[in-house]
Structure 1
Amino acid sequence: MNGIGIAEAVLLSVFLGATLPSIAQTSSADQLKASSLEDLTQMQISVSSFARRSEDLEKTPAAVYVITSEQIEHSAAASIPDLLRMVPGVQVAQINAYTWAVTARGFNNQFADRLLVLLDGRTIYSEIFYGVNWDEIDIPLSTIDRIEVVRGPGAAVWGTNAVNGVVNIITKPVRHTIGTSVTSQASNLLQETTIHYAGALTERSQFSLDLTGNHRRALVDSDGVQAFDGQHAQRLGGHIDWQPNLRDTVSISGDLYRETQHADLLQPLASSSSQFYSQALSGGFILSRWERKAATSELVFQAYYDRQVLFELNNHGVTQTGDLDVQNHFHAGAKNDIVFGGELRLGSNQFNGSPRVTLLPVYNTYLVASFAQDEITLVPNKLFATVGTKVQDGTLAGFQAQPSVRLLWAPVTGQSLWAAASHAAVDTPVAEIGLDLDEIVGTSNGLPVVSLLDGNPAIKPEFVDAYEAGYRTHLRHDLSLDFAAFYNVNSRLIGTISGTPQPGMQYGPDVEVPTTYVNGYSARSAGLEAAMSWKPSRHLDLAGSYTWMQAHGKQTTAGDLQINNSWSSPRNSGSLSASWALPRGWRANSFLQYVEKLTDTSPSFHGSTPGQEIGGYARLDLHLSHSLGRHLDLDAGGTNLLSPRHLEFGDNSGLNTCLEVPRSLYVKAKVSF
């Protein structure tokens, strides 16, 4: 048995040895009776991401899943994308050490732009490269209070890009983190240390500082050889909370980060002299938020400024965003619960590229939007209708109205059925408007074949018409089930069309293929999602999820179409998790996930199932923790324990080789003062 095998055996033995005693304990009827109703049910969970106001999860007419701070603390996950693996309907695949493909309900790739991601109300989105840079929000998981995930369109209140879902990451209030701590984690994939300090400024104000440094080590190729894709990152974050009176709350937060990322190109670009290169990412933000709460109303003002700088393949991109958002929530009589607001966003994108990879040198953007949503009580405590829309005009998506109509029926306490119809749109990325990319893609008769990819200023935004239905029930006070079904009609999807090859002199004598972006295909997708939560005793929590999905595409324009956004989702996937509270401060947790093979991660369009196949896989994560008094917490665990390594996604970008995720063992210690 090799070294890693011995370590796994020891870890599994400790895990099983610690959990077996708890199985006998959970059968105790006395302990079950001693548990409070709040301990045994999820009925009390409130969410704010669907309607931009707090409401009970069971009364929300949408597919919503909440990852709590307790679940985060008891997980072996080392990143936000890893946490999202437990959410039904969400597809997560790791591409390299610092890059993920994450989306909901299909259309997944490295640059997926149909999932709106928010961090404390700040939109995480790159207008230049589009999609979410998940490493931009590589914050310490211990600072997160909860993650609310809405599957399906949320554009009626959140606007563009809230097409297939909304991920709202909400950090902890400073008053809940008072003290000093040092947390350090080490594994064969990640070394990370976070220093946290929080204290009181005055009787009614608090502040916190977090300093984090990490090193994500490279993944491996199909032969198990380590690639060149690691990452070094440093991050400094600060937060101030002020409660001047019982009605008002003021919050100011900011972040500065710097990263160095390595990459191994599948083939050298003409603008790159080496197959291996490093890129730098840096940036920061400052956000302020004021909330005033009264008995029947709530007013919120929020403003933020965000700046990101990226050096990649001899290209220098700077994105700056300023955003002002205001919303008001109030009750109009006994039957109308209304939330409305407006937003102004200004963006500046500057790009200085190599002669072979350029964007528009300066591309300024704007977004002006307003929204309104009304929850109408048709039958008190039984039947509710929710009607809303966001109307906006902007540079990247033009004028858009994104309405939604929803109905919820609660026939008895603990049961609800809901249905919805929505329309949502996607921003058109700057790259698809102003890109100029010259890339050698092969040879023909001894001459290089050059793809001349140009942006298309006439491109139109993609959109979806979505239809959903769901059912929630509490079979008992300790057992809940949640089901959702959807059918999406996706239109004006963007791909690239290649023209007739012709002789040229871009690289001396060569063969040049003109290529441009077009609205080239449509797709229809359908799926079922299920989630289960069961707390049979105060010591044991069980949860499970299952997702079934399929999609079919249709080319709508003539020519050789290459897809930019394949749906890239497994037909079947699911997970099971268990968490045991053990005697003397011990806790054990497990997470088992199965993902069926992907058959559509290739950028070539071949009808209903575009073609590169990624094999299915199962992964097992284990986590064991122990508290030694108030000042020391110890954690140990492992991820991907069922196989030495596995492939999760193909190469959508054309830049990275296909890398596999290896198994990992880790230890973590937190010292509190």
Structure 2
Amino acid sequence: MNATTVLRAVGGLLALSLSQQLAAQEVPPSLAELSLEALSNTKVTSVSKRSELLTDAAASVYVITSEAIRRSGYATLPEALRLAPNLQVARVDARNYAITARGFNSAFENKLLVLIDGRSVYTPLFSGVFWDAQDVILEDIERVEVISGPGGTLWGANAVNGVINIITKAAGATQGVLAAASVNGDQRVGTIRFGGRIGKGRFRAYTKTLTLDDLQRESGAVSLTGMQRSQVGARADWERPDGASTLQGDAYTGALHQQGTADIKIAGANLLARHTVRISGGTELSAQAYWDFTERNQPNAFIEHLNTVEAQAQAATLLGASHRLVVGAGYRHAFDRLQNGVGFGFLPAKLDMHWGNIFVQNEFDLTPEVRLIGGAKLEHNNYTGWEFLPTLRLAWNPTASSLLWSAASRTVRAPSRIDRDFYSPSNPPLVGGERRYNIAGGPNFQSEVAVVAELGYRLNLLSDFTYSATAFYSIYDRLRTLEPNQAGAGSVFLNRASGRTKGVEMWADWRVTPALRMSAGAVAQQVRTRLDPDSRDASGTTGLATGDPSSYWKLRTAYDIALGHSIDLLVRHYGKLTRPAVPAYTTADVNYLWRIYPNLELSLSGTNLFEARHAEYGGAPNRTLSGRAVGMKLLWQPK
């Protein structure tokens, strides 16, 4: 019996079994069959720290739904973020990404706050995210709320250009067994999850492994940036009529390839507890606390052990039919312990850092159609003391299906350890009785400041069409530069640059037919920076800020071919970058989804289809190239 005969026999058996299963059980509806009216009734929490309809949110917010992630075929968090039209997502190498909103993107992007279930995942080393250490089971994501624009009033410093809030499903929504395995070019992912009851509550536990192969540089050499990571975790939820409680945690370990030396070793763990109480009259009280540990052992560079603890509490209440109030406070303490290498270091090697805050946000109905939203946060850190982060928003519903809003906000990017404590080399020789560093942290480095004005419009036409557009203008002051050290040789970090950004971001969703849905999004922006008259910066630090594309757009199509069969296509275009110079590119990702049985799903995908290889970030000739790939995923989930 040859291979062709075997394949035909297997195909016949699958077809017969499929027809029997579909006759006996109903296949769940797909996204294209859901009305956009139901989707527009999605509730979000990231805009006002209380549950509100997406249609009422006076901010530029896009929601990536669990169904969109499922249909995309993506297997990692950064890939899933490509679905948001208001995010610029660039793959730097096999494991690293540059992700931002509204400009200032880099591999060390420091103006975008990322949260996983309310737990901040940024590193105090540079106020950015090590994407190689962040992961969840994508099937467990309920939604990803992506806010482009300032979020400092509610979320604090570093939420300058936006907030990404990854919210996972309650344990009760992930019961039973799930097993998934996928391969896509350089990427392999395996997942097992089990959910069940625990007393009067529900729980789930999981394990996940990820392997990324090394990629190729533009020069033809191998880019040793692949990785292997394993992660386990669990969550338990107890729902009550008057509230809910959650306890969850994760632990991971990994090895990251690097050029010329041993692998970087990473490890971490976290534990989070949250309790919510609903009181009659519309008041909701909530408290959350978490502990987070990360370890990064980078040979020939540094070893970091970071422990972070945070506690926060808030109250959201109704003060009459036309007045809503949210107040809260929080405190975070980080214990950073470093073993510095020879080339560079963070001094002092041992440092305790703290952030304390109180905030209030008031929302008044001036008329049945007009709302005024005002809020402010006072946040204290050990570098610059108190920071004031206010916002004022006005929302008007000219019709029941439309919203016009405006906002003015002030936010900051507080100093990180790289701004104040970075030194290269870490132990230089004494010259004339003083240390002569090539680069030194700036003891007088202050917070970068942004003042942002926004004007937005959102439209929902029945169940067939939704549209959102936002114009923004941002003024940045005290941007980081690297200046000659007046006290001696070398350079020091100071705040001697400013910037302006302006642009428009928009997206629309259209249900063409019950089986066909199309969505599109585009961003046009201008990012400009300039040195102060007294600056002598020659490092390109501010030049990097002008390396953002002047425009980028995405077009997504979701089509249900037949019962149990669907296909999704995402075409994405990014304009050219100037510093570092990267050509513009357009590419496409496609995913075919076949529900073989009600409990078995097969995905066949293709990524980066338009070109054999292309660069997304970095300078030639050593930048890493992303290549065309085909993939397959099997997901088994008994009902």
TM-score where L is the length of structure 1: 0.85
Q: Could you give the per-residue CA deviations for residues 634-668 of structure 1, whole angstroms, max 9, x where no partner exists?
A: 1110110100111111159xxx9411111111101
Matches within 5 A, 1:127-138: 127-138=124-135
Query: Does the C-alpha gap of structure 1 residues 453 and 313 become closer, same or farther in structure 2, counting only changes over 3 Å?
Result: farther
- Residue 248 of structure 1: how far off its partner (Å): 2.0
CA–CA distance in structure 2, aligned partners of residues 78 and 174 of structure 1: 21
Structure 2 stretches lacking a partner, 5+ long: 1-31, 427-435
SS at match of 1:74: helix
CA–CA distance in structure 2, aligned partners of residues 142 and 412 of structure 1: 37
Where in structure 1 do 4 or more consecutive aligned residues deviate above 3 Å? 35-42, 223-226, 498-502
CA–CA distance in structure 1, aligned partners of residues 637 and 399 of structure 2: 47
Question: Do the aligned residues in 1 keep the contact of 2:481 with 2:537 (CA within 8 Å)?
Answer: no
Of 338, 346, 351, the residue aligned with 2:325 is: 338
- Residue 451 of structure 1: how far off its partner (Å): 7.0
Structure 2 partner of 1:519: 495
Aligned letter for 2:635?
K
CA–CA distance in structure 2, aligned partners of residues 544 and 161 of structure 1: 29
Aligned identity (percent) is: 28
Matches within 5 A, 1:128-207: 128-202=125-199, 204-207=200-203
Of 337, 340, 363, the residue aligned with 1:353 is: 340
CA–CA distance in structure 1, aligned partners of residues 86 and 36 of structure 2: 27
Question: Do the aligned residues in 1 keep the contact of 2:414 with 2:446 (CA within 8 Å)?
Answer: no
CA–CA distance in structure 2, aligned partners of residues 543 and 201 of structure 1: 41
Aligned letter for 1:490?
Y
Query: Does the C-alpha gap of structure 1 residues 369 and 588 become closer, same or farther in structure 2, counting only changes over 3 Å?
Result: same
Query: Does the C-alpha gap of structure 1 residues 40 and 246 become closer, same or farther in structure 2, counting only changes over 3 Å?
Result: closer
Structure 2 partner of 1:562: 539
- Residue 515 of structure 1: how far off its partner (Å): 1.4
Structure 1 partner of 2:270: 285
Question: Do the aligned residues in 2 keep the contact of 1:594 with 1:619 (CA within 8 Å)?
Answer: yes
* 2:44 corresponds to 1:76: no
Of 114, 119, 125, the residue aligned with 1:117 is: 114
Of 436, 458, 462, the residue aligned with 2:444 is: 458
SS at match of 1:642: coil
CA–CA distance in structure 1, aligned partners of residues 314 and 360 of structure 2: 9
Matches within 5 A, 1:470-619: 470-499=456-485, 514-556=490-532, 557-564=534-541, 566-567=544-545, 568-600=547-579, 612-619=580-587
SS at match of 1:562: coil
Query: Does the C-alpha gap of structure 1 residues 451 and 642 become closer, same or farther in structure 2, counting only changes over 3 Å?
Result: farther
CA–CA distance in structure 1, aligned partners of residues 122 and 91 of structure 2: 19
CA–CA distance in structure 2, aligned partners of residues 205 and 196 of structure 1: 17
Moved more, 424-433 or 637-646: 424-433
Aligned letter for 1:387?
G
Matches within 5 A, 1:304-453: 304-314=290-300, 315-359=302-346, 360-380=348-368, 382-438=369-425, 452-453=438-439
* 2:213 corresponds to 1:213: no
CA–CA distance in structure 1, aligned partners of residues 360 and 486 of structure 2: 49
CA–CA distance in structure 2, aligned partners of residues 98 and 303 of structure 1: 30
Structure 2 partner of 1:9: none
Aligned letter for 2:637?
S
Aligned letter for 1:495?
T
Query: Does the C-alpha gap of structure 1 residues 666 and 501 become closer, same or farther in structure 2, counting only changes over 3 Å?
Result: farther
Of 252, 276, 288, the residue aligned with 2:247 is: 252
Aligned letter for 2:254?
E
CA–CA distance in structure 1, aligned partners of residues 89 and 257 of structure 2: 22
SS at match of 1:334: coil
SS at match of 1:431: helix
TM-score where L is the length of structure 2: 0.89
Structure 1 partner of 2:26: none
SS at match of 1:582: strand
Question: Do the aligned residues in 2 keep the contact of 1:495 with 1:521 (CA within 8 Å)?
Answer: yes
Structure 1 stretches lacking a partner, 5+ long: 1-34, 265-274, 440-449, 503-512, 601-611
CA RMSD of aligned residues (A): 2.1
CA–CA distance in structure 2, aligned partners of residues 134 and 537 of structure 1: 38
CA–CA distance in structure 2, aligned partners of residues 183 and 431 of structure 1: 40
Q: Could you give the per-residue CA deviations for residues 558-597 of structure 1, whole angstroms, max 9, x where no partner exists?
A: 3133244632321011010011123231111000001110
Question: Do the aligned residues in 2 keep the contact of 1:209 with 1:237 (CA within 8 Å)?
Answer: yes
CA–CA distance in structure 1, aligned partners of residues 516 and 339 of structure 2: 56
- Residue 363 of structure 1: how far off its partner (Å): 1.0
Of 223, 227, 240, the residue aligned with 1:227 is: 223
Query: Does the C-alpha gap of structure 1 residues 632 and 397 become closer, same or farther in structure 2, counting only changes over 3 Å?
Result: farther
SS at match of 2:206: strand
Aligned letter for 1:671?
W
CA–CA distance in structure 1, aligned partners of residues 327 and 475 of structure 2: 28
Query: Does the C-alpha gap of structure 1 residues 651 and 117 become closer, same or farther in structure 2, counting only changes over 3 Å?
Result: farther
- Residue 672 of structure 1: how far off its partner (Å): 2.5
Question: Do the aligned residues in 1 keep the contact of 2:195 with 2:205 (CA within 8 Å)?
Answer: yes
Question: Do the aligned residues in 1 keep the contact of 2:267 with 2:296 (CA within 8 Å)?
Answer: yes
Structure 2 partner of 1:4: none
